[in-house]
Structure formats: C-alpha cells, structure tokens
Structure 1
Amino acid sequence: MTTTLTATTTPATRIPRGPRGLVWAVLRVHRTALVFWGLTLTAATAGLIWLHTIADAGIALVTTALSYVIFPVAAWAGGALIGRELESGTARLAWTQSVTPARWLATRLAVPAALLTVGTGAVLLLNLWARTDDNPNLVGDWYGPDQFAGIGPVAVAYALAGLALGTLAGLLLRRALPAAGVGFTAALLLHLVLERYREHLWPTVTRSEKGEFELPRSAWQQGWDITWGRHPGEGTPLSTSATFHPQSHFWPLQLVETGLLLGVAALATAAAFRLLRRRTP
C-alpha cells in the first residue's frame, strides 16, 4: 500500500517587484527615522511660526540646525540605511527576490533623497520667511558660517552630500557602526574644507579711496591695506584699500558651493554604484 503525502509549504515572504514595492520596503524598515524626521520638521515649522509672531531672536537656532544637517544624515545613511542592511543580510535577501543590487541601491538613495529635499527645502523657505526684516543684530550676518549654510540652497545640497557620503561608507565597510563613524567623519571634513575656503569661491571686490573709510556691516571684509605718511598710525592715512564680498555676492557664493556639494554627491553616488557592481554577481 502506497501512501501519498502532500506537503503544504508556506511561501517565503517576498519583496514586491517594481519601484513601489521597494519604496514601501524602505519606508517600512526605516519608519523610526522617518517618524523622527517628521516630528523634527513639525517642531521646526511650529517654532518658526511662533518665533515670527514674537521676535526673530530664536531663528538662529533653526538656521544652525540646517547648517549641520549633513552630519546626522551621513551617519544615518552609513549606519542604518546601508551598513546595517549589509551586515544583517537584509540586502542580500532582497537581491535573491528578483530585486537587482542596482535597483536596491537606487531605491535606498532615491527615497531619502526626495524626503530630505522636500523637508529641508520646506524648512529653509519657512526660515527665510520668518527672518522678515533680516536684522543682523537678531538673525546674524549673511556671511556667518551658520547663517550662510542655513539660509540658502546649500542647506539642501549639504543634506544630499551627506546621504551620498554615508551610503558610500556603508558599502565600503558593510558594518553599521564603523560606516556611521566614517560617514560622519567624511561629512565633517567636507564641511570644514568648504567653510575654510568659502571666501575664495567667488572673486572679491576691492575699494580704494584717499584717506580712510568704513565698510557697511553687510560687507564680508577680507583685508585692509592702509598707506600712511612718514609717521604710521598718526593722523589720517594717505589712502585705504579694502577687499571684501558685498552682500550681492551671496547668491554667487551660494550657487558655487551648492554646485560643489552636488558634484561631491554625484561622485560619491557613482562610486557607490561602481563598488556595488564589483562586489555583487
């Protein structure tokens, strides 16, 4: 007598094919970070509206936060977004379910990039609105390190550069904590270099006059050259020359730095895809 046994198997959990399935997977896996990001944006929005109704004094806090957004983004991208998934094997599991490595990485980059662009851009625009009369005594001078990086498109570019650098670190190290540290360090170096050489990204203006003069506060002063008579320091100088960036240089400097940051983001992204291709079949 022959007995036929019919085995009932439960199909393995599969990640739906196509962009929608991958996008949903990214949102579900990183929902904690997304909730935190959403709460942060909500708090920043409410705070800016409230500060706008009473005074501009506290707006500098939001501006500073925008200028340093690259650091947590880079650490999160290297540690949680990429490093943890490679370390735990989640990424390789996705690759066995009809999801190519390139599509997996593209989705891991596209979803947070879109959210960072929309979120950071929205807070940036609201911050500019809340600054109202742009009184430097309250909100700081336009050329201040925090103010410059937090009141223009460079804020969004810094976030995207941090995402790309963290992603590359995650693919290089394939471990969450080391990748988070390396991503943070790379973002810090980039931030320090651009802050150090920002004044050289656009040609300065030189103003020369007989005697002496003062520049307006809105001028980002770079240097002075004073010619004295026979006794330096006594009386009125014969001529004075000042090198500076006028306030009209804000947008040229912003656009050049934004371009450099997006270039870094593009190079890091290309390197990440190339590295992934070399390490996967």
Structure 2
Amino acid sequence: MTAVTVAGTPAAPPFATARAMLRLHRPALFLWTGVVLAALALMVWGYGWLAEPAAAAYQRLKACDYACSYDQDAYLTYKDVLRYASYLVTFLPLLVAAWAGATLTSRELESGTAQLAWTQSVTPTRWLAAKLLAPATLLTAGTSLLVLLHHLLWAEGRRADVLGWNDILIFQANGPTTVALTLFGLAAGALTGLLLRRSLAALAVTVAVTAAVGFGLNWFRGYFWPTLTVTAPLKDGPWFGGSVVSYGAVTSTGAHVPVPDCAQYWSAAKDCRAQLDKQHIVRFYSEMHPYSHYWPLQLTATALTLALTGLVVLLAFRVLERHTGTVAKGTAV
C-alpha cells in the first residue's frame, strides 16, 4: 500500500480538477466530438433525404406481381446508411472502453503523474471522481443524441423493411442500453487502469470485458421479459416472427417436444407427415417477443448494465483506497 500525504494541502476546487482532466485528455475530447458530428451528419442525411424514398421504393416492389421498375438505388443507399450508422453506434462503447483502459487512469499511474497530483492539491478520491464525472457527462450527452437520432432514422424507414427491431445491431443502437454500456466501458477502464497500471494491458482487458458484457446482454436478452407463446398449424411450419427465443412442436396431449428434422422446412411432405403423426404432433409453437416487448427488454437490459456499472465504480474507489491508504473522504492515513 502506498501512503499519500495530502494533509494540510488545500484541495483543488472540483471544477478546476475537471477542467484539468479535460485539458489532459483534449485529443480524446476532439476525437469524440468528431465521431459524434460525423455520425450525426450521416444519420441526418439518412433521416431527411433517404428514408422516405427507400420506403416508397420497397412498397412499390412489394406491390408488384412479377416485374416492375423501382428506385433500387434509394433503397440500397438507405440500407447501407442504416447499417453503417448501426455499426457506429453499437461499437461506440468499445471505442470508449479502449480509450478509458489506455489513458483514463493507467497512463497517469504508469507515468507517476497521478501520484504527483495526490501530493499537491488533489486528493485521490477527488482525482478519480473527476476522471469519471466529466467524461461520463460528455459521453451520456453524445451517445444519447446518437441513439435518439438512430431510432428516428430506423423508425422513419420502417416501411422499407430493411432491418427489423430484433436485429442485434438495431436493438443495441436504438435504445438506452448503448448509453449504459458506454458508461460501463468508462468505469471498466478506470478500474482496470487502477488494477493493472499498464496502458496496453488495461486497454486489452477493458475492451474484452466490455465486449463480453455487450454480447452477454444480447445473448440473454430474450429472457429479460416473459415471452408469448404462439402456435401454428402443421401446414405452416414453425413460426419465426418477432424475436423467437425457442420453438418446437405440440403433441395431442399438449406436451412440447423438439421439431423433427424433416419438419424444419417443409412439414407438408408425405414422409414427414407420417413421422409427425407417429409422434402425435398436431401443431408447432414458438416462444417469442413481439415488438411491444421492445421497451421492456431495452429498459431491463439498461437497468442491469447500470447496476453493473455502479458496482464497477464502487470497486474502483475501493481499489484506489487500498492503494493509496485513503478513506472515502480522501484524508491521509
């Protein structure tokens, strides 16, 4: 444990500490501003000029019986813009995690800058609070704006049927889960920097942990809210609308059993019908989430991510206390 002497030294005002932190990370601030502005420009273009023509082109194509002309370029351009915007917004938390792990705390601890600041006018607790508060404010504002505009861009072009609400990129980029995951990346970077005190190692660990949490949320999101059970007749096969969590077959006794291999694609085949009758299968079922479950799933995932972020922040302050010998109020031991 490293003892830090701060007793008798006037503490720097909170706003002065935050301003010093922003000056130190000015290149990252400029980069973040540039990313936000570029993403905003891309989505404003798609929302204002591409969504409606793409929807009109798709509806014209959908109404055709055989062949007709439609504005294919408008449809494909909107699809590309939405896909690129979705990638950009979805992977923002990883960009933040990389920066936080590489520079937020690890670089100053590695170079000794943090220890020097602690012996002057900044207590360790206030130092870490400034490291988290100022970026968290900017990240929340910027990411929220991007998520809102992305949702508008997607909703404006829903009639184009490009990407459904349950697409992994759309679900992530359309709601507050992305904002929460961005804050998690920030907190995880601070914690790993305090633990490892090596920029490259902290960067790698932070990105890996943030990616794991993001993939975990998408992997288990179907279980965040009760599903609806939808059944379908044998002639239609299993139903895959909405966001399907599981599916199978229903026997005459009401039992749920796996779908025979032959029924995965064409349940009306004679050899398959004989197998279905042999197992007394009368219908298919799907456990799924309709679009009305979108916000319950989003808000549950967001709440879980924020709870995990709060835990990581608490651990970061505990690690700092253990390393510096300071108590929560930042006094010397």
TM-score greater than 0.5 by the shorter chain: yes
Task: Quickly say closer, same or farther: Cα 1:37–1:16, change in 2 above 3 A.
Answer: farther
Matches within 5 A, 1:203-214: 203-208=226-231, 211-213=234-236
Task: Quickly say closer, same or farther: Cα 1:177–1:244, change in 2 above 3 A.
Answer: same
**Aligned partner letter, 2:273:** E
**In 2: Cα distance, 1:19 partner to 1:213 partner:** 65
Matches within 5 A, 1:194-205: 194-205=217-228
Q: Quote the residue 1:272 is aligned against.
A: 316
- Range with greater deviation from structure 2 (204-213 or 172-181): 204-213
Matches within 5 A, 1:1-281: 17-52=12-47, 53-55=49-51, 56-57=78-79, 58-131=81-154, 132-135=156-159, 137-138=161-162, 140-208=163-231, 211-213=234-236, 219-227=242-250, 233-234=272-273, 238-281=282-325
The Cα of 1:265 is off from its aligned counterpart by 0.6
| C-alpha distance after superposition, 1:83-105 (max 9, x if no partner) | 00111111112111221100000
The Cα of 1:145 is off from its aligned counterpart by 1.2
Structure 1: which 5+ residue stretches go unaligned? 1-13
Q: Quote the residue 1:3 is aligned against.
A: none
Task: Quickly say closer, same or farther: Cα 1:267–1:178, change in 2 above 3 A.
Answer: same
In the alignment of these two chains, the number of paired residues is 266
The Cα of 1:189 is off from its aligned counterpart by 1.7
Identity %: 37
The Cα of 1:209 is off from its aligned counterpart by 5.3
**Aligned partner letter, 2:102:** G
- Range with greater deviation from structure 2 (173-182 or 192-201): 192-201
The Cα of 1:62 is off from its aligned counterpart by 1.3
The Cα of 1:76 is off from its aligned counterpart by 1.0
**In 2: Cα distance, 1:41 partner to 1:15 partner:** 38
**Aligned partner letter, 2:13:** G
| C-alpha distance after superposition, 1:229-267 (max 9, x if no partner) | 9x7623997323221111111111101110111011101
Secondary structure of 1:188's partner? helix
**In 1: Cα distance, 2:193 partner to 2:151 partner:** 34
- Range with greater deviation from structure 2 (65-74 or 33-42): 65-74
**Aligned partner letter, 1:35:** F
